Each structure stands twice: as structure tokens, then as C-alpha cells.
Amino acid sequence: MPASDVEQFVELCHKGARAFFDISDDVAIARAPARLDLMGGIADYSGSVVLEGTLAEAAIVGLQRRGDDRVRIWSHGATRHAFDERFEMQLSAFRGDGTPISYQEAHALFAAEPQTAWAAYLAGAFHVLMAEGVVDEFSHGANILLSSDIPPGAGVSSSAAIEVATMYAINAAYGLELAGLELARLCQIVENRVVGAPCGIMDQVTCALGQQGKLLALKCQPHDILGYHALPPGCAVFGINSNVKHSVGGSHYTRTRAAAFMGHRIITHQLGSDPYGGHLCNISPSEYRQRFFELLPGRQRGSDFLAAYDDTIDQVTKVQPSELYSVRACTEHPIYENARVCQFIQLVDEAAAGRQKALERAGQLMYASHWSYGKRCALGASETDLIVRSVRQRGAAAGLFGAKITGGGSGGTVAVLADESAWSEVEAIARDYERETGIRPDVFRGSSPGAYAYGCATLSL
């Protein structure tokens, strides 16, 4: 268990942040790790099975209840990323005439000031808990200290880790007794409705319920944990961060997601009902090819779609009339990705049983997923392509089985399936990448427990 980062956080609380807290009251400390998306990625919003691991890097939150309704947040080190470190507000700002303000109004509270917009990931938890009826109102505000060594924009869910650590600390400090999946669902609402980023739920579930050294299989309909899978002996998953900034709230991701839901709407309109429960991934690849391939337009203007079908069922993206959408390709990706993930899990289990060639076959599925991100969904990047190409060129002979872009794509991190002994090869790829691009990558190695497995500590100042 990675005690060092929590020990450093405790030292920060005792020394640098001592004046920030009231020394007469305890501080609840929660920790949530970054996640590494091995397979599934953006198919989560279409109901896919995804396979996720946790990283050693984490967000740590110390939360202390106050006597008034003020929330004071200190994001320690935020100035490294050109943000203000401090944010304050009153919880009464979340309430209108005796009821919680709308999510649109809550979003506007944070979006107006870019230098402190990050506070939505933390303070937004209080609004969601009230808006969703978990808490009628909070009579006590909080002092909140955040420290994170997860690089933002790396595609390893720095935002979800912050949300989960904050919500888990609130859960402990206010005695809410939230179950793990419910907490993850609430954290997704923070990101979708308060922050305004249209992510699926795999990030929050992994940060909350991931296990050290294991891969979490999650069926995103909406969030059914299928189990945890151990990597074969001697096998590891590494991450190479291209340091090309990724954003789930970016236009490419939003357009890709909207196009997939457009495809879903066209299919169900043709059928006259939705036998797939709102999830494209309940359509098999063979059924899609036989019944729907010809039905879907390759590209469609948003205005033409809206005139014919009115809207999609997605609650977090809207079809823009002036936008041109790649409907067929973006619909295909989650359908085929879901099939790849299920096959990948089977191959990992076979490899754990001693079938070495299964890892090479699993790696081929990663390469196929990476291709689909770039060619079907336009969520690739030349820098991540370079990393994947370097892994593939070295190949299984060097202990490198497969690689793919992770999460929302468009930069960020590449996940690498490899032998543990191939660490030197991964470092060599990182050095070659820096020489060719001039960008120094981060390399992720190791795993740590999710927030619930780690637990919540109580610190007396």
C-alpha cells in the first residue's frame, strides 16, 4: 500500500497547512488513485464492458467540518498548472428559495472564473448531494485541502480521482454511509452536470472501487462490476503519458459521443422501439453488419438529423445543427470495442492459466482498439500513434504485447501490456519519444488501491 504519499500529506497538514485547519477538530483524509484504461475507453457511454486498472499516482483530500456554511478549498500546488490555489464560497449559494439551484446555475458559479474552475470538482459534491436528495442541506461547511500527483490532461482521470477523494471524505466526515457504486454515480454527476464534462462512469467506479494490482471489469449499464482479473504472473501494465493534453470536455470527444447517440436514435427509430435498453453495445457486431450498416449515414449534418429524429437520448451532449457528424463510424466503434473487450478479458484469463500466446493475441486487440480510436472516432494524435508504433515495432520478442490510447483519446496516455522485465524497453520508448518530439513524457508504473479499499483516516492536529 503506498503509504508515502499519505504520510507526506499528513506532514503537510501538520506543518504547511496547520494554519488552514482548525487545530481543535479532526481532519478526514481520503485517497483515490488515477486509473489506467486498458480496454473499453469511450465505449463506456454506449454500455460497453471496460477493463480498468489503478495507478500508483493519486489525489488526496483532507476535509474538516466547519461551524459555519463556508467552504474553503486549498489546492496545494495548483500554481504549477497556472491555476489559483485558493477558493472560497458559501454553501447557501447552492440553494435558491429553499431548494437546490439547478445544475445549470451551479455550473455557472464555477465556469465564470477559469482560474478557479477546478473547484467545481470538489465543491460541486455538496451541490450534487443536495440536488440528488442524499442530504436536505448542509449546516456545516468545510475546510478542504487537496494534493494530487496525477498530471491533469493525461487521460488517467485526474478529475475523477479528485471527485472520488472529495466525496469519500465528505461521506466519512458527515456520516453519509454511501455505498461505492452510489458514490461513483454521484461523482459522475459532479463531472457531467456541475463541471460540464460528458464523461462516462468507468473513471469514478475505478477510482472508488479499484483494487491494487488487479483489473476491474465493469459493464457500463449503468455500472455493474463483473469482477476483478489478476494479470498473469510476470505481466504488467505500464502507462506512457504523451504530455499532449487531453480533455473529455473537448470538442472532438463531445462530437464523437453525440454521433454515437445519433446512430442509436436512427436504429431504434427504424425498429420502432429500443430492444437494446439504450445501449449500442447490446448490438452484436454480426447483427450490426447484417441489419444496420447500410441504414446509417456515413456523415450527417446535425440540422438534418434534428429535423428527422428530433433529438437523442443522451442527457449530457446535444446535437449541434451546424456540425457534421461521422455517424456510422462513431456508432461502429463501441459495438466492435465491446466485443474486443470481452475477448480481451478471456485472453487475459487464459494467459493467467499459462497460455503465453494469449497475451500476444490480447495485444492485437489493443492495436485494433487504438486504430479504431483514430480512424473511426478521430480521437487519435500523432504523438500517441508514435508511442504505439514504437511498442509494436519492438514487439513480443522484447516483452511488449500491445498498446493503445486510453480514456477519451486525443492525446493523453498510452497503456502498454508487457512483461514486468520489459520496463527498460518502456523507458527506452519514452527516451526515443522525447528525442523525436521534444516532449518529455511521464511514465506510469505500479498500482494502488481504490478509495474504498484504502479507507479513510482520521487526523488529529
Q: Report the interhelical angle of 103-111 vs 120-131 (nearest 10°).
A: 160
Does residue 387 come out as left (phi exceeding 0), alpha (psi in the -120 to 50 range) or beta?
alpha
Quick one: which of 52, 51, 50, 58 has its CA closest to 34? 58
Contact indicator for 255, 325 with CB cutoff of 8 Å: yes
The helix (H) or strand (E) run that includes residue 306 is helix 302-309
**Alpha carbon distance 215, 345 (integer Å):** 9
Ordered DSSP codes for 152-207:
TTSSS-HHHHHHHHHHHHHHHHTT----HHHHHHHHHHIIIIII-----SHHHHHH
The helix (H) or strand (E) run that includes residue 384 is helix 382-394
Q: Is the dihedral of CA 401, 405, 407, 412 positive or negative?
A: positive
Where in the sequence numbering do the catalytic residues fall?
A: 203
Quick one: which of 33, 49, 376 has its CA closest to 210? 33
Phi/psi at 291 (5° precision): -110, -30
User: DSSP state, 225?
Assistant: E
Q: Which residues of 217-247 are buried (b: 16+ CB within 10 A; e: fewer)?
A: bbbbbbbeeeeebebbeebbbbbbbbbbebb
CA dihedral 368, 261, 345, 41 (to 10 degrees): 70
| C-alpha cell belonging to residue 430 | 519514452
Quick one: which of 235, 295, 223, 307 has its CA closest to 264? 295
**Alpha carbon distance 184, 129 (integer Å):** 12
Q: Which residues of 400-410 are buried (b: 16+ CB within 10 A; e: fewer)?
A: bbbbbbbbbbb
